[in-house]
Amino acid sequence: MGSKKKLSLWEVVSIGVGGMVGGGIFAVLGLAVQLAHGGTPLAFAIAGCVALLTAYSYARLSLAYPGRGGTVTFLDRAFGANLATGSLNVLLWLSYVVMLSLYAYAFGSYGATFLPDAWQATGKHVLISTAIVVIAGLNVLSAEVIGRAEEWIVGLKIVILLIFVGVGAFGVQPGNLAPSEWAPLAQIAAGGMIIFLAYEGFELIAYTAEDVDDPHRTLPRAFFVAVGFVIALYVAVAAVTVGSLSVSAIVDAKDFALAEAARPTFGHFGFTLIAVAAMLSTASAINATLYGSARLSYSIVRDGELPAALGRKVWGRPIEGLLITAAVTLVVANTLNLTSIATIGSAGFLLVFTAVNCASAVRHREVGSRAWISWVAAAACVLALAALIWQTLRHAPGNVWVVAGLVGLAVAIEGTFRLTHRREPSAG
């Protein structure tokens, strides 16, 4: 029997880039401009630096603990299977639900631009729900229905974004990007943290550790190349957007800002092209994240940290976990606004990434990491979370309670399960 083909550096990089440039940039660009104004490129750069530091910890942990468990395995191996790690793993699953809600919200927002004005508000929620239900149904029937087109969609959206940057750069008005047009630096940094979830996805590279050619050389390079490329792409997209439109015009079109930013250079055709690309991108992101979160719930079940029903397989796939994930996503996406979704999603991932960085630091001898780098990364995540909370308390204090509720829910789910149905982790 022939050996399985190993993944090359660029194949692994494409997984990380595809995970990050899923639908986040289409969804949160307008929100970033609302917060950072002309300093939006700097906001994306600051958030990217936090992601880049965390990528170091993921690279070292992936080499030490290769396998399909990813973040769940890293936390359990570093800290043991206890209430804290179980709660963090449940929080990770809930954060993926929030990411799904963000993608579905963006799908509905861009799709609603094709409807008459009187129908847009209702039509957006119809499109949000349709995207979740249809894609969940396709995953139940066959995860490969959309999966076969995934690579093409990823390539298409990156090409469209690069064209947007390359051609749109000629229409940039430098005055829009001048420091005098920036929000205060503290607000820029806080804005970068609220839209931090645009970088979520690089951790998918960890799942390839067993399938990579020369992992000790390939994995670290893949993490840094993928995150570095996306930082450059996001900064460039943000610069062209802010340079092409006034802040007020972008904020007015916050939910579909990227399409609106294409209008000055490309006209109505550009608006339509970006809107269609956004819908394709967010649909593919819903598909990938929905399937991935169902597999994540299966991993947590396998480690004895969630009820077995969430990991029960039908036709070889964790269907019940997928359906529950889709149902919760329907509620979140149709209930919360864009700012709330972005805030709680970014907070959830920053908390989990803080723990991952601490895992790399605590186990630095075992995983071969430099403890000081991982401690700096953990501190950066904590500062990022503090900046996010500070900004949220100033402008939308109710969202802080939503974040606290998300964390409390994760602890309550894990704590209740441990008290009532605790079982030993599966040998699998």
List the chain domain ranges. Answer: 9-418
Closest alpha carbon to 323 in 137, 94, 130, 129: 137
pLDDT in tens, 283-294: 878 877 776 666
What's the number of CA atoms in the CB half-sphere (13 Å) around residue 47? 38
Tell which wins on pLDDT, 426 or 9: 9
The answer, yes or no, to whether residue 314 has pLDDT greater than 50, is no
pLDDT in tens, 209-259: 878 888 889 999 999 999 999 999 999 999 999 999 999 999 999 889 999
Given pLDDT bands bounded at 50, 70 and 90, which one contains residue 154?
Answer: confident
Tell which wins on pLDDT, 303 or 192: 192
pLDDT in tens, 372-418: 999 999 999 999 999 999 999 988 899 999 999 999 999 998 888 88
Given pLDDT bands bounded at 50, 70 and 90, which one contains residue 119?
Answer: very high
Question: Is the CATH number 3.40.50.10540 carried by domain 9-418?
Answer: no
- Rounded CA-CA distance 93/305 in Å is 12
The answer, yes or no, to whether residue 135 has pLDDT greater than 80, is yes
pTM assigned to the model? 0.88
Give the per-residue pLDDT at 175: 92
Tokens 């050996």 correspond to 3
